[in-house]
Structure 1
Amino acid sequence: MRRILEIIGSSFKMALQELWKNKLRTFLSLFGVTIGIFCIIGVLATVNSLQTNIQNQLKSLGNNTIYIDKWEWGGGADYPFWKYSKRPLAQYEEVAEIKKRTSTASYAAFFISSSVNAEVDGNTLSNVRLYGVSQDYTNIQPLDIQYGRFLTEGEFQRGNNSVVIGNEIAEQLFGEAERAPGKVIDIKGSKVNVVGVIKKQGSQIVGGWQFDKSMIIPYQFAQSVIDERRSDPIIMVKGAPAVSSKVLKDELTGTMRSIRHLNPTQEDNFALNDINDLSESLEKAFVSVNIGGWAIGALAFIVGIFGVANIMFVTVKERTSQIGLKKAIGAKSRVILMEFLLESAFLCIIGGIMGLLLVFILTKVASSLIDFPFFLSPFIILIAIIICIVAGILAGIIPASQAAKMDPVVAIRS
């Protein structure tokens, strides 16, 4: 073990000496490795950051949740818009029936939305999203309240004119978000009392509920300020613990057909949209992006491998007499082979570290410019190191083999 550590230390030292002695030559040769790692890890880090944030945003829409609507999620040239437009809208009365008839459901909530103007002392905000929700909404869609509180059970039942507003709305109407609770906002001629402010969420990629720019009121009160026929009503149903969304969806199909009195020959006049289906579609799209990043990075990496191989061929030639001397005093061929392979791997790791550093700088710059968190995960860093080690071995295997096979007498003379 001690001997192996000595070889590793010696190889690392020689790699640094090679880099320092021939700075320009080594830098240009390692540039391909740097660019290759930058392309591969840059794409992986970007996709991983996007995927993580999107998955978190999808979870915020309700984990293990089915959305009952007249519209199927999706689109494309073959989307049967005309057929879905004829379907009936989701009804508030159906929520109670769903709870009663669906054993795999734990919560069900009704949701309507509209765009309104919000006014405070002559200061008006246009196109504010107003959400009218029923009582189980926060059990399906958890919300972090930064100031004040969320709507109470009594406010839902009585249909009080209480409202919870997004952070951005609070700042624009009251200057500071913490000042909003207790204030009054005018919405379409109705006064609403602010009881809470939702914690700031930042930019959303997949849309969903833009809570920073929205207001939430009880459904019973929302009926007086929102035209329900034009409010895109939906029913959100969350499955019971340990119940998969597929099982929930299957039972909901039967429940909805029973509620709407559809006979066996009639098609469904409702859509059951699953968050997990959207998540799977996005994962497939990310796979294609990852493949593209690997392909681009691989081309640069091949150039880098040839560059490192060139360094190693030159290094072997420069150290021929040293190799002969080592073999003459008893160094085994496998030790010589290991020394040069480790040196080649260390050179690639140095190039990879330069590439990782560039990616790290890029993630910090991008995060600050577009207010979106990009990051380098430990797993991606580990992938980069493994790639560099494998590349170093591939680049150094031929020159290292030549060094290991040298005749000590011939090597010393040369």
Structure 2
Amino acid sequence: MKFIRQTFESFRFAWQALQSNLTRTILSLLGVTVGIFAIVAVFTIVDSLERNIRESLSSIGDKVIYVQKWPWGFGGEYQWWKYFQWPNPSYNEYKYLYDNLESASAVAIMDFKGATTVKNGSNSMEALIQGVSFEYNEISDVPVETGRYFSPIETDASRNVAIIGYEIGQTLFPNQDAVGKEFKLAGNRFTVIGVQERKGESLLDFGGNPDTKCIIPYGAFAKLFQSGRPDPDIVVKGYENDEGMMELEAEVVGLMRSRRGLKPRDENNFSLNRPEAAAQAISGLFVVLTVAGWVIGSFSILVGGFGIANIMFVSVKERTNLIGIQKSLGAKNYFILFQFLFEAVMLSLVGGLVGILLVYLLTFMPLGTLTVTMSAGNIVLGLGVASVIGVLSGIVPAMLAARMDPVIAIRAK
């Protein structure tokens, strides 16, 4: 009980010392403020970027493999001249995989046509057209707010029906329910059977922004836009118990090689692309940004730490006589040590809190489509770093004060 009371008294003395030298206190904590701001700001922005990109990647499917002509290039030499000669995936190959794959929970085919005008009377806008097979909603989430998803009959019969994005619905059918209404696409009438939930703008939209996307059956898409050389994507989704989708990938490779008549020594003439590969490549960039934040912040914190240590040495010198009086009245060494250690830690923590407050204010600034959110983990990190800097900056001056001879200290002027 006595120890707790004396510890509290040490804390009170430290607080009074900071209040009595307010100007010096403010100047001392600036270095820590800048350092904590730099570290927490970088971590907050990197976390927000990573979360935004991962959410965008999740929109193109989880545990899926894209069978495509072109590989996704992430570093290294991109041998486009070789990939250029490879054949495009075809609808027949999709049917072959659909009929024979045993390791897939779903198989779908899709294709895109960008910047296509959709019209309803005098209302029109440019939309991204996506043709999909029925199983597409098992590959990627299609959040239909009003209406419904395609039926197997509609996709198999290539009917002119569509699921439109929120913005398309608001533009073509203002102030009314779009479900059941007709609009024109490439000179053909399509009936709206569903409207997707509003997503809003995001930093990256893999597969296009759902708000400006019009999804139609793949057969209807092929009749309108695949008169030339079609280049669809075949997408296969694995089971949850297939770790790393190794079994699914091996089966897809075997079936595709068999379908294309490749000999054992021939290399694959198709690409298997995974969204997680893009996520890993992006994560590597985030690691570099995080390290840069630590380096920049560390220099500022180092300067702030030296500033606090210098101030603490000055405080010990100024209060040497008071230390001698306290020790002569029976104050223990830990009581003196805690006074100065608490003062250093409090000084550093106040600087850290100001830095964190500045980052919090940063989250209210408009940064385009990027939504910045400061997590509790980053707040704890900032306070933890500030506390460590405070301890390291104050421990030596505090130990010098605690070890003073009371007779010599009380005579100091």
Would you say same fold, with TM above 0.5?
yes
Percent identity of equivalent pairs:
38
Of 51-60 and 390-399, more deviation after overlay is shown by 51-60
Equivalent residue, structure 2, for 1:98? 97
Contact kept? 1:156, 1:219, Cα under 8 Å: yes
Mark the CA change 1:212 to 1:112 in structure 2 (over 3 Å): closer, same or farther: same
- State how 1:57-96 maps to structure 2 within 5 Å: 57-74=56-73, 78-96=77-95
- State how 1:2-401 maps to structure 2 within 5 Å: 2-3=1-2, 5-6=4-5, 9-74=8-73, 78-115=77-114, 116-126=116-126, 128-176=127-175, 179-210=177-208, 211-227=210-226, 229=228, 232-243=231-242, 244-366=244-366, 369-401=367-399
AA aligned to 1:105 is A
What do the CA deviations read for 1:88-119 (whole angstroms, capped 9, x no partner)? 11112222322343322111100011121111
Q: For the residues of structure 2 that align with 1:203 and 1:135, how far apart are their CA atoms?
A: 27
Partner SS for 1:224: helix
Partner SS for 2:266: coil
Deviation of 1:410 after TM superposition, in Å, equals 1.6
Of 301-310 and 287-296, more deviation after overlay is shown by 301-310
Mark the CA change 1:4 to 1:259 in structure 2 (over 3 Å): closer, same or farther: farther
Q: What are structure 2's unaligned runs of at least 5 residues?
A: none
Mark the CA change 1:269 to 1:4 in structure 2 (over 3 Å): closer, same or farther: farther
Q: For the residues of structure 1 that align with 2:178 and 2:374, how far apart are their CA atoms?
A: 37
Q: For the residues of structure 2 that align with 1:248 and 1:98, how far apart are their CA atoms?
A: 11
Deviation of 1:398 after TM superposition, in Å, equals 1.6
Deviation of 1:172 after TM superposition, in Å, equals 2.5
What do the CA deviations read for 1:342-372 (whole angstroms, capped 9, x no partner)? 2211211110000000001101213xx4242
AA aligned to 1:304 is G
Of 73-82 and 286-295, more deviation after overlay is shown by 73-82
Deviation of 1:54 after TM superposition, in Å, equals 1.2
Q: For the residues of structure 1 that align with 2:250 and 2:380, how far apart are their CA atoms?
A: 42
Partner SS for 1:202: coil
Deviation of 1:8 after TM superposition, in Å, equals 5.3
Mark the CA change 1:93 to 1:12 in structure 2 (over 3 Å): closer, same or farther: farther
Q: For the residues of structure 1 that align with 2:271 and 2:392, how far apart are their CA atoms?
A: 54
Deviation of 1:122 after TM superposition, in Å, equals 2.0
Partner SS for 2:363: helix
- State how 1:396-411 maps to structure 2 within 5 Å: 396-411=394-409
Q: For the residues of structure 2 that align with 1:277 and 1:186, how far apart are their CA atoms?
A: 38
Deviation of 1:216 after TM superposition, in Å, equals 0.3
Contact kept? 2:11, 2:339, Cα under 8 Å: no
Instruction: Kindly report the root-mean-square deviation, in angstroms, between the aligned alpha carbons of the 2 structures.
Output: 2.0
Deviation of 1:231 after TM superposition, in Å, equals 5.4
AA aligned to 1:22 is N
AA aligned to 1:117 is T
Q: For the residues of structure 2 that align with 1:4 and 1:104, how far apart are their CA atoms?
A: 67
- Please give the TM-score of this superposition, normalised by the length of structure 1: 0.93
Q: For the residues of structure 1 that align with 2:102 and 2:95, how far apart are their CA atoms?
A: 13
What do the CA deviations read for 1:5-42 (whole angstroms, capped 9, x no partner)? 54554454444434432222211110110000110000
- Please give the TM-score of this superposition, normalised by the length of structure 2: 0.93
Deviation of 1:76 after TM superposition, in Å, equals 6.5
Q: For the residues of structure 2 that align with 1:310 and 1:395, how far apart are their CA atoms?
A: 8
Partner SS for 1:138: helix
Deviation of 1:237 after TM superposition, in Å, equals 0.6
Partner SS for 1:179: coil
Mark the CA change 1:13 to 1:191 in structure 2 (over 3 Å): closer, same or farther: farther
Q: For the residues of structure 2 that align with 1:169 and 1:218, how far apart are their CA atoms?
A: 18
Of 204-213 and 13-22, more deviation after overlay is shown by 13-22
Q: For the residues of structure 2 that align with 1:315 and 1:146, how far apart are their CA atoms?
A: 66
Contact kept? 2:17, 2:343, Cα under 8 Å: no
Mark the CA change 1:88 to 1:8 in structure 2 (over 3 Å): closer, same or farther: farther
Contact kept? 2:74, 2:278, Cα under 8 Å: no
Q: For the residues of structure 2 that align with 1:170 and 1:7, how far apart are their CA atoms?
A: 70
Mark the CA change 1:16 to 1:199 in structure 2 (over 3 Å): closer, same or farther: farther
Mark the CA change 1:334 to 1:15 in structure 2 (over 3 Å): closer, same or farther: closer
Q: For the residues of structure 1 that align with 2:277 and 2:299, how far apart are their CA atoms?
A: 34
Deviation of 1:232 after TM superposition, in Å, equals 3.6
Q: What are structure 1's unaligned runs of at least 5 residues?
A: none
Deviation of 1:328 after TM superposition, in Å, equals 2.1
Q: For the residues of structure 1 that align with 2:7 and 2:172, how far apart are their CA atoms?
A: 64
Mark the CA change 1:166 to 1:9 in structure 2 (over 3 Å): closer, same or farther: farther
Deviation of 1:69 after TM superposition, in Å, equals 0.3
What do the CA deviations read for 1:212-269 (whole angstroms, capped 9, x no partner)? 2111011122122222645541011110121123432232211211121111121211
AA aligned to 1:247 is E
Q: For the residues of structure 2 that align with 1:92 and 1:232, how far apart are their CA atoms?
A: 9
Q: For the residues of structure 1 that align with 2:178 and 2:20, how far apart are their CA atoms?
A: 65
Contact kept? 1:95, 1:235, Cα under 8 Å: yes
AA aligned to 2:164 is I
Deviation of 1:296 after TM superposition, in Å, equals 0.6
AA aligned to 1:384 is G
